[in-house]
Structure 1
Amino acid sequence: MSKQTSSFPMVEVLEPGASQAVKAQLRLREMILAGELPSGARITELAIVEKLGVSRTPIREALMRLEQEGLLEALANGGYAVRTFSERDVSEAIELRGTLEGLSARLAAERGVATVVLNEARACLDQVDSVLRQPALDDDAFLRYVSLNQKFHNLLSEMAGSAVIARELDRVVNLPFASPSAFVVLQANSPQARDILIVAQDQHRQVLGAIEQREGSRAEAIMREHSRIAQRNLHATLQNHELGQMPGVRLIRKRN
């Protein structure tokens, strides 16, 4: 299987009318995670204007957004620097996602979910099953899994019917390495990769069943446990010397 170069396998699809600030934000994020702007590198508006050929106003807005995402930190003397994350930072971000997704699942179970949304979630999981039936997963299969996995997690968020939780979840999953699929593609070369995805898929089925049965506490517990798969993938990635040298992963500082 070919090597991947980022721990953010999701592909951003821009709407036709996407602003220059959004385009600059996505390009800068890509440059950071690809190692073009390494950890600790100082970034100035003028340098990025020259590099991307975009005016200062959208660049300024893009840099502010990336600071809010947590990829950049503002410097006291002006400009920004690419952040380095401790293993604890990433672990806590994943834990926070699991907590919010657990709350979302519990509320979905307690409040009930429209049949059309449940059917869409079941259809999504049927597609995941189809991907995982393959005895060996190639790059395309892993990327297909990532897309479907993201769709299912989005549907879980929708099921809660809470704009507040959805907003906070959206903020959390945009934290570096905290999205549901952040480490999936990096683990593609692992002999255990397909087994891990099968366990995750079983948890998907269990939480959907708990929501349908209106078992709020059980649904919450399953999603909290589900996030621990990402925790294991984080530790495995940092312990694997080859994967740990990939540009995006270099932003993470291992525990002493």
Structure 2
Amino acid sequence: MNKDTSKPASNAQRAVQELRGLIFSGELAAGSDHLETELAARLGMSRTPIREAALMLESQGLLEMRPRKGVRILPVSASDMREIYDVLTELESLAAARAAEAGYSKEELADLKAAIHDMDQAIKEESLDKWAEADDRFHAELVRLGDNSRVSSIVAMMSDQVRRAKASTLFIRPLPVQSNEDHRAVYRAILKGDADTARRIHHAHREHARDILTDLLEKHRIHSL
């Protein structure tokens, strides 16, 4: 009889989600060290799923495993963000151009438009949390519309680090009104089939976002310890 391995896999996945939540909320602070036994007790599970989850989160750049010392939560680094945004800027701009070339209808771009609407509404409500969630949806949908599986894989690999850096600076950055306008312009260019404009606007948008984020990380000393 084959051994049932569904429960360990389920526990490992739960450990990934819960540890991610603790890291993003700051309960597991950047630069802090934690033993596997401590994390296992905190989540009410054995060390095996904790170790499996830690390996996955290490590959995503959220923590590092240290022999005999458990795990260390990695700080957000301005230099890392510059490198990551350099890559994201090129790949997402390519996705914007490819989406424009694809000739999508208004119906096929409905999710992209809905994300922009939700971002506008979030600004009116002065809810930066809602804005960040809608902004994430816009970028994810833009990459999906670009229809390149390798671009999608690379962007997904970096998304957690970007989301965490954004979360750490969200409430000290300027109100992101211009970001909404940039997204609206990209949407219109895609709808019109104007690949050059879609690429150019999104490229400038991502470069501006990179500069704001890294400047805040350095100014407020939110960087590697």
Residues 164-222 of structure 1, C-alpha deviations (whole Å, 9 max, x = no match):
22222111212x2x13x9537834355x42xxx22111111111122122222321222
Structure 2 residues without counterparts, runs of 5 or longer: 1-8
Q: Which TM-score applies when normalising by structure 2?
A: 0.80
Aligned-pair CA distance for 1:74: 3.0
Higher helix share: 2
Pairing 1:1-256 to 2, within 5 Å after superposition: 19-75=10-66, 79-132=70-123, 134=124, 137-138=125-126, 141-174=127-160, 176=161, 178-179=162-163, 182-183=165-166, 186-188=169-171, 192-193=174-175, 197-238=176-217, 240-241=219-220, 244=221, 249=222, 252-253=223-224
The structure-2 alpha-carbon separation of the partners of 1:82 and 1:218, relative to structure 1 and needing over 3 Å to count, comes to same
Higher relative contact order (CA 8 A, sep 6+): 1
RMSD: 2.8
What's the secondary structure of 1:116's corresponding residue? Answer: coil
Give the Cα–Cα distance (whole angstroms) in 2 for the partners of residues 48 and 222 of structure 1.
44
Residue equivalent to 2:3: none
Give the Cα–Cα distance (whole angstroms) in 2 for the partners of residues 94 and 66 of structure 1.
20
The answer to whether the 8 Å contact 1:142/1:185 transfers is: no
Structure 1 residues without counterparts, runs of 5 or longer: 1-17
The answer to whether the 8 Å contact 2:115/2:137 transfers is: yes
The structure-2 alpha-carbon separation of the partners of 1:102 and 1:240, relative to structure 1 and needing over 3 Å to count, comes to same
Give the Cα–Cα distance (whole angstroms) in 1 for the partners of residues 192 and 12 of structure 2.
44
* Residues 75-84 or 20-29, more deviating: 75-84
Aligned-pair CA distance for 1:36: 4.1
Give the Cα–Cα distance (whole angstroms) in 2 for the partners of residues 84 and 185 of structure 1.
10
Q: Which TM-score applies when normalising by structure 1?
A: 0.72
Identity within the alignment, %: 27
What's the secondary structure of 1:80's corresponding residue? Answer: strand
The structure-2 alpha-carbon separation of the partners of 1:144 and 1:40, relative to structure 1 and needing over 3 Å to count, comes to closer
What's the secondary structure of 1:19's corresponding residue? Answer: helix
